[in-house]
Amino acid sequence: MASSYVDSVLDDIEANNPGEPEFLQAVREVYTSLVPVLERHKEYREAKILERMAEPERVIIFRVPWLDDGGVIHLNRGYRVQMSSSIGPYKGGLRFHPTVYLGLLKFLAFEQVYKNALTGLPMGGAKGGSNFDPKGRSDGEVRRFCQSFMTELYRHIGQFTDIPAGDIGVGAREIGALFGQYKRITNQFTGVLTGKGPNWGGSHIRPEATGYGAVYFAQEMLATRGDTLEGKTCLVSGSGNVAQYTVEKLLALGGRPVTLSDSGGFIHDPDGIDEEKLGWVMQLKNERRGRIREYVEKYPRAVFVAAGAGAEANPLWSIPADCAFPSATQNEITGKDAASLIAGGVTVVAEGANMPTTPDGVHLFLASGLLYGPGKAANAGGVAVSGLEMSQDSERLQWPRERVDAELQQIMRTIHTQVTAAAEEYGNPGNYVMGANIAGFVKVADAILDEQIW
Ligand code: NDP
């Protein structure tokens, strides 16, 4: 009964959202795992909770004109998808990447709703961004783009309405320029963005939070089997914000990270990436804005493997290891890659990125019985500390680093407990996918019922 209801809802969503494969993939993955909840709760079906949670409350699309250093005018498209405000103001990052389009942001906003609910903090879900490519652009060009983007976005956001943050292509430099422009236009210094600098309203540990949180989540998963990260060889993809702080925390907990990547390919350092090498990568990526292939010029014992265009598998995932931390982008682990990870001895996968594993891959992970922490649980540390940044902004106080880190650890622990409890309650112990989807869904669904918006 519930399963045919879910099928018919999915058919309608598919018909109404053509050309948005990532969004449909994310919705299907969540909704098929909610069948046991819908069996028990007919009130969710009656209130059309599934239908409304796949329909953004509001979508804003706008043009972003900007001037390059040569005086040439460019035009990009800006977006903000305000998916749900059921449990708090809209909250979610901004992505600047050439692959950005409405469907990609709808998938990310959809995921964000569940993730934010799992943190236990009062935050709704949103996502935004632009198809602007910051790669190869000067600081001045990026600044002018950000200023133009905010010149439209400012009227749709606010500390009580919608609080954007960073994501791919949006780091400290971009948040600074966006905040500066918001302030000039509105004449208000408020916590309208998170990921701000620590001396102008930002929270300690926000840059570190997603990577640290993913490692804390892996630690929790391992603890269920009486194990730790000590001495574990770890595959990490990406080399941006999430990947860097994943490596940093792995090192602090005795892990042995051996890979990093970017869209050009990956490096494998069999000696391990230690603190000194990580420091060099941070400088390469955050200051020089270089490419990961340069790593092997500096550390010649490592190898660089160029990305294969359109390849069905990425050899990064066939390196024998104990743990995997995909931290680059969506659908970076295919079914073939998942099979390679399992064959290579990986027993823990903690997703720093959003939806980095394809449905085939997820299926294999679940069937294999390895510890698989999906992004909406494992990478929730970033938005959790963003939520703590909002609290600090409201209090006009800054909490010490140690306090924020302790709260982050506690939040990741609580997410783990909720997710495992929900999976168990609905008859699938150890299934973190089902547990995360159900625990997030129930909170938002109950808020929709309480608020009686119909
Ligand atoms: P960054 O922009 O700092 O880094 C992204 C990294 O991923 C870069 O190394 C980039 O390489 C690589 N990458 C991006 N797109 C692709 C692609 N299409 N193919 C191959 N590699 C790619 O972003 P973040 O580290 O912030 O984000 C990484 C992931 O984590 C994303 O999925 C994001 O949604 C997710 N996430 C981030 C959070 C945060 O707090 N920042 C919070 C929760 C999730 P290149 O430089 O070549 O593009």
352 lines ligand 1 (CB under 6 A): yes
Burial class (CB in 10 A: 0-12, 13-18, 19+), 14: middle
User: Residues of CATH 3.40.50.10860 domain(s) within the chain?
Assistant: 56-189
Q: How far is the CA of 316 from the centre of ligand 1 (A)?
A: 16
Within the chain, all domains assigned CATH 3.40.50.720 are found at 209-378
Going from the Cα of 23 to the center of ligand 1, the distance in angstroms, rounded, reads 18
What atom of ligand 1 comes closest to residue 382's alpha carbon?
40
Phi-psi region of 316 (alpha: psi -120 to 50; beta: other; left: phi over 0): alpha
Ligand 1 contacts CB of residue 240 (under 6 A):
yes
pTM over 0.75: yes
Whether residue 235 is predicted with pLDDT greater than 90 in this model: the reply is: yes
Please state the atom number of ligand 1 nearest to the C-alpha of residue 115: 43
Q: Indicate the pLDDT class of residue 385, thresholds 50, 70 and 90.
A: very high
- pLDDT exceeds 90 at position 200: yes
Residue with CA at minimum distance from ligand 1 atom 4: 240
- Compute how many other C-beta atoms are within 10 angstroms of the C-beta atom of residue 227: 15
Q: Which CATH number fits the domain 209-378, given the four candidates 3.40.50.720, 3.40.50.150, 3.30.70.20, 3.30.1600.10?
A: 3.40.50.720
The more confidently predicted of residues 309 and 33 is 33
The confidence band for 404, taking pLDDT boundaries of 50, 70 and 90, is very high
Alpha-carbon gap, residue 371 to 225, rounded angstroms: 10
Q: Give the pLDDT band of residue 1 (cuts 50, 70, 90).
A: confident
**Residue with the nearest Cα to atom 23 of ligand 1?**
168
Mean pLDDT in residue range 406-419: 98
Instruction: Give the CA distances from residue 407 to residues 333, 388, 401, in Å, rounded to whole numbers and listed in that order.
Output: 31, 9, 10
The protein residue with its alpha carbon nearest to ligand 1, atom 46, reads 262
Superfamily of domain 56-189: Leucine Dehydrogenase, chain A, domain 1 (3.40.50.10860)
pLDDT tens, 97-147?
Answer: 999 999 999 999 999 999 999 999 999 999 999 999 999 999 999 999 999
Q: Is 115 a catalytic residue?
A: no
Residue range 293-351, pLDDT digits in tens: 999 999 999 999 999 988 899 999 999 999 999 999 999 999 999 999 999 999 999 99
Return phi, psi of residue 374, to 5°.
-70, 155
- Is residue 298 classed exposed, middle or buried when 0-12, 13-18 and 19+ CB atoms within 10 A define those classes? exposed
Residue 290 Cα to ligand 1 midpoint, Å, equals 15
What is the percentage of the chain residues whose pLDDT exceeds 90? 99
The answer to whether 10 touches 95, Cβ cutoff 8 Å, is no
Q: Kindly state if the Cβ of 178 falls inside 6 Å of ligand 1.
A: no
Q: Is 191 in the pocket of ligand 1 (CB under 6 A)?
A: no
Q: Say yes or no to pLDDT of 428 above 90.
A: yes
- pLDDT of the residue at 377: 98
With a 6 Å cutoff on the Cβ, whether 169 touches ligand 1 is yes
Reduced to 3 states (helix: H, G, I; strand: E, B; else coil), residue 372 is strand
